[in-house]
């Protein structure tokens, strides 16, 4: 799986979020098949929120943008299911 970075931003709206992207120059893509017939490029992804942690919105975005592309034929049938185990963290 390609790396996902979760960063802190105090911005209240997407339009006002700003990060220094200089370090993304050094982020490597992952190349692999992962259920595809040919090799694909899977880029490094990132998310922003107030605490810099994974909330339900960030988890949903990560699943859609980083995990589901690894399994293009995922389905609710035997042999096509994907299990995603998440930890809600300390309480």
| pLDDT over 90 at 44, yes or no | no
Domain with 34, as residue range(s), is 4-70
Is 55 domain-assigned? yes
Is 80 domain-assigned? no
Q: What domain count does the chain have?
A: 1
pTM of the model: 0.59
Is 48 domain-assigned? yes
The helix (H) or strand (E) run that includes residue 40 is strand 40-42
Is 38 domain-assigned? yes
pLDDT tens digits for 12-32? 666 665 666 677 777 778 888
Q: Is 27 left (phi over 0), alpha (psi -120 to 50) or beta?
A: beta
Say whether 72 sits in a helix, a strand or coil: coil
Is 90 domain-assigned? no
């Amino acid at each position: 799986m390609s790396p996902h970075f979760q960063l802190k931003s105090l911005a209240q709206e997407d339009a006002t979020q700003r990060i220094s992207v200089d370090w993304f120059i050094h982020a490597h893509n992952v190349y692999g098949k992962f259920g595809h017939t040919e090799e694909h490029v899977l880029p490094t992804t990132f998310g922003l929120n107030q605490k810099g942690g994974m909330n339900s919105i960030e988890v949903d975005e990560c699943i859609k943008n980083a995990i589901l592309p690894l399994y293009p034929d995922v389905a609710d049938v035997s042999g096509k299911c994907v299990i995603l185990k998440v930890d809600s963290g300390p309480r």
